[in-house]
Structure 1
Amino acid sequence: MAVVLGPNRYGKAETRVVRVTREGETHHVKDCNVSVSLSGEMEAVHLTGDNSAVLPTDTQKNTVYAFAKKHGIGEIEEFALLLARHFVDSQPAIRHARVAIEEYAWRRIPGGPPHSFVRDGSEVRTCLVHCDADGTSTVVSGVRDLVVLNSTGSEFHGFARDEYTTLAETTDRVLATAVTASWRHRGATADHGASYAAVRHHLLAAFAQTHSLSLQQTLYAMGARVLAERPEVCEVRLALPNKHHFLVDLTPFGMDNDNEVYYAADRPYGLIEGHVLDDEAPPAAYAWD
């Protein structure tokens, strides 16, 4: 039996950087979590402990901070591309860089001074960039923890049954989920900010406007709408946990419950996942993770 080194990468995970841009008394805040992974000619360090090709992870962390100062942080996709290209261009042994960024949004406190902020909801904007030394790059934008709910307009019936099935069919239920979505750009995108806002809008519009017979149907409608409306996107991946809402039995109290009072269960939950893609889209160069 021969033992060989398989795929490998290393990097600095979750460098938290907050960049404050001051325009007189008006301030702007970008709050990000940056993870870098590098791969390439790393056989020697694994097999013999030779570190000559290893750029320390501490250096990667410092680069994030330095670039935040030198270049600022605009759209997170652009910042991720800037970092990834730097690593593959500056280190001969590095053939591939992966940069993932989460952005935590802040908005101004109404009526407060222009330097006071409150966290803007639970959702987190994300991006993932892969960059090769030959200049090839892949950009995936996304969002997670985008919590949505339809209080009606959702059904679930006609499903398969066996001896363990107890779920009752329904033609009127609450449909709620915390959307995790990521979408691959077809090529260079001129304005990642505008693209993100538009994709988010279409995800929400499709969820709201689809009379759902299943969460799978809703997932497909969300992805299909994005592809139909946004030509810069060629693939959408969605993970939708079904945040179950169960009617509370009020009969012990002599009360009816006509779809009014629910118990929101946090677990266990159904998890619906799927990809929706343009069948003419170029294949992804790398697995998204």
Structure 2
Amino acid sequence: MSVVLGTNRYGKAETRVVRVVKNGGTHEIRDLNVSVALSGDMAETHLTGGNSKVLPTDTQKNTVYAFAKEHGVGEIEEFALLLARHFVDSQPSIHLARVAVEEYFWDRVEPAGGPGERRHSFVRSGRETRTAVAHYDGERATLVSGLKDLVVLNTTGSEFWGYLKDRYTTLAETRDRVLATQVTATWRHVGHTVGRSDYAKSYARARRHLLEAFAETHSLSLQQTLYAMGARVIENGPEICEVRLALPNKHHFLVDLAPFGLENDGEVFYAADRPYGLIEGTVLREGTPDDTLAWR
């Protein structure tokens, strides 16, 4: 029996870097979590322990910090691409770099004295987390943008009925229910636009259409809502060719108030955190080729 080394990669995960830009009394914050994974000619270190082709993960961490200073942190897509290209182009033994970045939002605390006062106080925003993943193999770059933990809820306009039933089915059909989910959405950029898009505008547009589709779709199933959200992003984003969505169904169950002599006309609910239905799906622009590199 023979044994061989399979697919592998290594890197520094979750390097937390906060970049402060100081413009006089007004400061700006970019708060990132950066994970690097590298692969290539790494057989020697696995088979013999020789490290001559290994770029230490500590060096990768230091590179993130140095690049935040030397190049600044603009859009996270640009920062991820910059790092990915650096690791591959600077090290012959590294053939593929994957750089994933999460960005956390902060809101400015406006001073009581008005906008003329110093502006360097912030409060952590309750918004979603913005994400980006860049791959680079020495010739081609792929880029996937996205968001996670975007919590949304419709108090009406959602139904669920006509489903399969068997001896274990107890769920009652409903023509009016609360629909809530915590959106994880990622979208792949068309190849020729990578490195050339306005990522801030692209992100804002995709986020807006995700929210508008969720709000405007009279939902007969969460799957229907998922498709509407992905389709809306593609239809309004020429730089986007594929959207992947994961939508946990954050169940809200009507509380039985009859024991207390009270009627519950769709007003009081129990918000369950688990177990939950998990709906996942992909929406593509017609004719879009599969790109396994982008989703590794």
TM-score of the pair, normalised by structure 1: 0.98
Matched, 1:42 2:49: no
Q: 2:190 is matched with which residue?
A: 186
Q: In structure 2, what is the equivalent of residue 137 of structure 1? A: 141
**Which segments of structure 1 move beyond 4 Å, counting only runs of 4 or more?**
none
- Distance of 1:279 and 1:93 partners within structure 2: 37
What amino acid does structure 1 have at the position aligned with 2:120?
A: H
Question: Which residue number corresponds to residue 217 of structure 1?
Answer: 224
The match for 1:74 is 74
Deviations along 1:90-131, one digit per CA (max 9) or x if unpaired, are: 000000000000000111014454101111114100011100
Matched to 2:134, the amino acid is: V
- Give the drift of 1:287: 5.4
Q: Within 2, Cα distance between the matches of 1:40 and 1:22?
A: 39
- Measure, in 1, the Cα distance between the counterparts of 2:101 and 2:110: 28
Shift of 1:250: 0.6
Secondary structure of the residue aligned to 1:115 is coil
Measure, in 1, the Cα distance between the counterparts of 2:111 and 2:135: 42
Q: Distance in 2 between matches of 1:163 and 1:285?
A: 41
SS in 1 for 2:262: coil
Deviations 1:35-86 (A, max 9, x none): 0000001111111111110000000000000000001101000000000000
Question: How far apart are residue 149 of structure 1 and its match?
Answer: 0.2
C-alpha offsets along residues 139-187 of structure 1, whole Å, 9 cap, x if unaligned? Answer: 0000000000000000000010000000000000000000000000002
- Name the SS for the 1:100 alignment partner: strand
Contact kept, 8 Å, 2:75 with 2:200, in 1: the verdict is yes
Q: What does the per-residue CA deviation read over 1:240-285, in whole Å, with 9 as the maximum and x for residues that have no partner?
A: 0000000111111111100000010000000000000113113214
SS at match of 1:178: strand
- Gaps in structure 2 of 5+ consecutive residues: 113-117
**C-alpha separation in 1, matches of 2:241 and 2:126:** 28
% same residue: 70
Secondary structure of the residue aligned to 1:147 is strand
- Is the aligned partner of 1:268 residue 2:275? yes
Secondary structure at the counterpart of residue 62 of structure 1: helix
Classify 1:287/1:198 alpha carbon distance in 2 versus 1 (closer, same or farther; 3 Å). Answer: closer
Instruction: Measure the CA separation in 2 of the matches of 1:221 and 1:82.
Output: 33
Amino acid in structure 1 at the alignment position of 2:267: E
Instruction: Name the aligned partner's letter for residue 73 of structure 1.
Output: V
2:207 maps to 1:200: yes
> Which residue number in structure 1 is paired with residue 11 of structure 2?
11
Indicate conservation of the 8 Å contact 2:210/2:233, yes or no: yes
Distance 2:77 2:46 in 1: 32
Instruction: State the Cα distance separating 1:219 from its structure 2 match.
Output: 0.2
User: Aligned partners of 2:229, 2:188: CA distance in 1, in Å?
Assistant: 15
TM (norm. structure 2) is 0.95
Q: Please give the alpha-carbon distance, in whole angstroms, between the structure 2 residues aligned to 1:38 and 1:212.
A: 42
Quote the Cα distance in structure 2 between the aligned partners of 1:237 and 1:285.
Answer: 13
Gaps of at least 5 residues in structure 1 are none
1:166 lines up with 2:173 in the alignment: no
In the alignment, is residue 23 of structure 1 matched against residue 18 of structure 2? no
2:14 maps to amino acid: E
3-state DSSP class of the match of 2:212?
helix
> Would the aligned equivalents of 1:94 and 1:133 in 2 still touch at CA under 8 Å?
no
Q: After the TM superposition, which residues 41-190 of structure 1 pair with which residues of structure 2 at under 5 Å, given as runs?
A: 41-111=41-111, 113-134=118-139, 136-187=140-191, 188=193, 189-190=196-197
CA distance in 2, matches of 1:146, 1:275: 18
Residue deviations 1:208-250 (CA, integer Å, cap 9, x gap): 0000000000000000111111110000000000000001111
Amino acid paired to 2:101: I
Question: How many residues are paired up?
Answer: 288
Equivalent of 2:248 in 225, 241, 248: 241
Q: Distance in 1 between matches of 2:85 and 2:292?
A: 16
Partner Cα separation in structure 2 for residue 92 and residue 199 of structure 1: 37
Give the Cα separation in 2 of the matches to 1:268 and 1:47: 43
